[in-house]
Amino acid sequence: MATIRLGDEAPNFTAETSEGKIDFHDWLGDSWGILFSHPADYTPVCTTELGTVAKYKAEFDKRNVKVVALSVDGLESHHGWIKDINETQNTIVNFPIIADEDKKVSELYDMIHPNADSNLTVRSVFVIDNNKKVKLIITYPASTGRNFDELLRVIDSLQLTAYHKVATPANWQNGDDCVVVPAVATADIPSLFPKGHKEVKPYLRMTPQPNLD
């Protein structure tokens, strides 16, 4: 298992999922992706998480993001549990869940942290851009459900940097002013950011969020 770091290519794999076999890179295609693990099927926190992700599909689609979940349970377990998620979370699971019984993908992505649990995956999240590069890695403990609004916020920030040459300041929310990335020369700001900018310091240049009307 190699350490995966930001900027690395997301390792490819093939896997059985609740929606059929996938080759991860082929499945991603030109989309951004989220690969996230949860400890086990038929567990309470995971049930709420997967239901929440299903309800956020329109938000992920809007951002050209495909989502795939993973646990070390098998396909039969996934299919039974999906029925429970649909029933209890009032939704329809609309993304694949990898059945990683042989732990091939969990080990490839270092999702098992033996001092937390020797057999089950922790709550890992990998955000992968449309060039298959890893852009975000976060790890939550089994007992804490993830904040998927925060995940959308980070994806918005990553896409602003990728497409608009801005970064986002502390506690940034959609609509707030952004930071012009240091690689942009101050002389180039007026043409690149026609909405205007404020030079607080030579290294701190703020501009209105560029992708809003």
Of the pair 40, 167, the CB lying nearest ligand BEZ is at 40
Of the pair 11, 145, the CB lying nearest ligand BEZ is at 145
User: Which of 185, 184, 206, 186 lies closest to 195, judged by CA?
Assistant: 206
Q: With binding defined as CB under 6 A, does residue 39 bind ligand BEZ?
A: yes
Active-site choice (10, 28, 35, 46)? 46
Q: With binding defined as CB under 6 A, does residue 51 bind ligand BEZ?
A: no
User: Which of 124, 24, 91 lies closest to 82, judged by CA?
Assistant: 91
- Per DSSP, the three-state class of 39 is coil
DSSP 188: G
Cα separation of 87 and 89, whole Å?
Answer: 6
As measured in angstroms, the least distance from the Cβ of 141 to ligand BEZ is 8
Size of the site for ligand BEZ (CB under 6 A): 7
44-55 and 148-164 helices, crossing angle to 10°: 40
As measured in angstroms, the least distance from the Cβ of 16 to ligand BEZ is 22
Q: Is 178 a catalytic residue?
A: no
Q: Locate tokens 């989220």: which residue? A: 34
Hey, what are 71's tokens? Answer: 């646990």
Binding mask 115-144 for ligand BEZ (x = CB under 6 A): ---------------------------xx-
Q: How many CA atoms lie within 13 A of 72 on its CB side?
A: 18
Q: With binding defined as CB under 6 A, does residue 46 bind ligand BEZ?
A: yes
As measured in angstroms, the least distance from the Cβ of 146 to ligand BEZ is 11
Task: Provide the binding-site residues for ligand BEZ, judged by CB under 6 A.
Answer: 39, 43-46, 142-143
